[in-house]
A = this chain, B = another copy of it.
Amino acid sequence: MAKRVTSIDVATLAGVSQSTVSRVFSDMDNISPEKRRRVLDAANKLGYIPNAIARSLTTQRTNIIGIVMANLTSPFYPYVLEKFLQRFREMEKQTLLFTSAPNQDVDDIMPHIMQHRVDALIITSAMLSTEMADKCLRYGIPVILFNRYILNSNANAVCTDNVEGGRIIANLLLDSGHQNIAYISGQPNVSTNTDREKGFSDRMRERGMTEWLREEGDFFYQSGYDAALRLLSRPDRPDAIFCASDNMALGAIDAARYGLGLRVPDDVSIVGFDDMPMAAWPAYQLTTVAQQVDLMVEATIELMLEKLEDPDSRPILRLIPGRLVLRNSVRGV
């Protein structure tokens, strides 16, 4: 391998001190135009690229944001990741990406993350133990949860207002005259699921419903397909299904159509949650509550910057409203 070029090599060639080279590449302004030119020439000639590792060691900042993604395979998250990357690029921050292994707690990978001294950490759709959150706080690393929250914890969070989203859907289905509304859940114990169900159930009861069908899913396509098949094969077949995610809703539509030969929305209305790109495809035309990803990402970054400024300010939970998107999978609207 070619010998590595350092600022000393550049300094020697340019006939200046190493400090001066450093100043040029740190964008300091107290430098004579002539020396700056000489330094840049020399650097160019040698193919010098400043070493961010060494810089981080002295500045105590890496300019790297850590981001933990739980599941990239669900079509909603790549879009989230893309947005974050785009914003980070604009901010000239680098991104260290982690995935938590299936069913693995984020706690397990935290040591790896901390070793690299990221400036801040964003965790999507996964939980962090309170102890870990505290540890990060002690280390001065702001942590923002995205799409999950923990009450009474030191972790900040940005989340869609899932409870209100659930209410919106209950209203929609009841307003459009559905009588027998079923719910297909996501994984239990996940706030996105429980909140959506809570809003839905509360509003159902407020409006006089006392019982309804319910199947358990796991947010993924296949579970929606299977659960819908079970629901729609019953003698007391529901006339509407609220699925806790778009993914499951698409599965439910396919189950209705291709599994049982039913028409959507004529025979059964189906609603999702998230608004992933496929929801808009002609094949599905899914009515859903959109998570406003752009707003959520923006809020997350804003929160992160605040915490970077004042690490000890008290934790914040920011709720972003969901937006009802009417397409064509609910009859009578």
| Alpha-carbon gap, A254 to B281, bound state (A) | 8
* Inter-chain contacts of A333 with B (CB < 8 A): none
Q: How many copies does the complex hold?
A: 2
Rank and list the top 8 A-B pairs by shortest CB-CB distance, nearest first.
A1-B140, A258-B282, A52-B115, A97-B97, A72-B78, A78-B78, A254-B282, A72-B82
Nearest chain B residue, comparing its CB with the CB of A100: B89
State whether the Cβ of A94 lies closer than 8 Å to any Cβ in chain B: yes
**Which residues of A39-74 have CB atoms within 8 Å of chain B's CB atoms?**
47, 49-54, 56-57, 60, 62, 64, 72-73
State whether the Cβ of A180 lies closer than 8 Å to any Cβ in chain B: no
Between A60, A97, A98, A225, the greatest number of chain B beta carbons within 10 A of the residue's beta carbon is seen for: A97
> A51-B117, A57-B54 are known contacts. Are A73 and B82 too (CB-CB below 8 A)?
yes
| Alpha-carbon gap, A112 to B64, bound state (A) | 11
Q: For the complex formed, measure the closest distance between the CB of A68 and the CB atoms of chain B, giving whole angstroms.
A: 11
Nearest chain B residue, comparing its CB with the CB of A311: B1
* Inter-chain contacts of A89 with B (CB < 8 A): 98-99, 101, 109
> A78-B73, A86-B99, A283-B283 are known contacts. Are A138 and B53 too (CB-CB below 8 A)?
no
Q: Number of residues in A with C-beta < 8 Å to the partner?
A: 61
Q: For the complex formed, measure the closest distance between the CB of A183 and the CB atoms of chain B, giving whole angstroms.
A: 22
Q: Apart from A85-B97, A250-B281, what are 12 other A-B pairs with CB-CB below 8 Å?
A: A2-B138, A53-B57, A64-B96, A64-B116, A92-B112, A95-B97, A95-B98, A221-B281, A254-B282, A254-B283, A255-B282, A283-B284
State whether the Cβ of A332 lies closer than 8 Å to any Cβ in chain B: no
* Inter-chain contacts of A253 with B (CB < 8 A): 283
> A52-B117, A278-B278, A311-B1 are known contacts. Are A82 and B111 too (CB-CB below 8 A)?
no
Is the pair A2, B52 in contact by a Cβ cutoff of 8 Å? Answer: no
